[in-house]
Amino acid sequence: MTELFAKLNKIDPNKGLITLQLSTDDIHTLEKYHASRQQQVVSLIASDENGVSAQQRKFAFALLHDIWWSQVGGYWIETPETVKQHFYAMYEYYHGLDFGEFSLSVVKGNKSDTNEFINMLLDYAALHDIALSVKPLNELEPQEIAHWEYQCLMNKCCVICGKRPSDLHHLDTIGQGVDRRKTNHLKHRAVQLCRIHHQDAHSLGIETFLQKHHLTGIKIDERIAEVHRLNTK
């Protein structure tokens, strides 16, 4: 059995038909099953606004698979299932939940808990330099993007693609002729970018670049300044 995710586009109650929007990969998967000429049964589960969305679940499972594929971890890295159970247990422990309370299931889970769970996985990936198969900025909900921006600055990985090496890129103009080494960097906005996306930011201009990637930038605090050895006086 393969789990697919789709967005409901149209319902025709008179004909009993629905139209779904699937990714290209999922369409190819369905075509493969259909070519076998065996009757296929598709299960649909609808979630409300507070339930786990299909996009959240797909992103979370992609992150879990990336962590497993990296083989960065302890005894629990053995299979995708043991990785999932390990992070379930971690989330439950740090949030004071009983064993088995957290789930990515559309039946048991909810949107806010899943967002926090995704952030925990992203923190782990950024800390351990784990290559991601999907770009977080394409998957995160708007209110969660700032958390990823901050983690990228702290772990020196590109906020767009997650690659290293990367550099802190200032968004606010400090002033022409001012020596940045002697400037107080606190509260100036910044993002972490690899060389390619650094060049892209210069080519597009800051505001266009930020709008393109749905970024706002993070104000430099003491922790970020310490990691990047920036002046704070």
Sequential DSSP letters for 63-76: HHHHHHHHT-SSGG
How many residues can be counted in the chain? Answer: 233
CA–CA gap between residue 211 and residue 217 (Å, rounded): 11
Please report whether residue 70 resides in a domain. yes
Do 104 and 175 sit in the same domain of this protein? no
- Between CA 176 and CA 8 the distance in angstroms is 52
- The reply to whether 58 and 34 lie within a common domain is no
Tell me the sheet residues that pair with 21.
7
- Provide mean pLDDT across the span 164-189: 81
Residue 139 has pLDDT above 50, yes or no: yes
User: Which residues form the domain of 33?
Assistant: 1-44
Do residues 126 and 155 touch, judged by C-beta distance below 8 A? yes
Establish if 209 belongs to a structural domain.
Answer: yes
Total-model pTM: 0.74
Is the model more confident about 62 or about 48? 62
Residues 67 and 28 in one domain: no
Beta bridge partners, 192, equal 168
Same domain, 37 and 65: no
φ/ψ (deg, to 5) at 124: -65, -45
The pLDDT, as a whole number, for residue 193 is: 97
For residue 233, tell me if it sits in a domain.
no
Higher pLDDT, 233 or 182: 233
- Regarding predicted confidence, which is higher, 21 or 112? 112
Total number of domains constituting the chain: 3
Would you say residue 190 has pLDDT above 80?
yes
Give residue 15's pLDDT band: very low, low, confident or very high (50, 70, 90): low
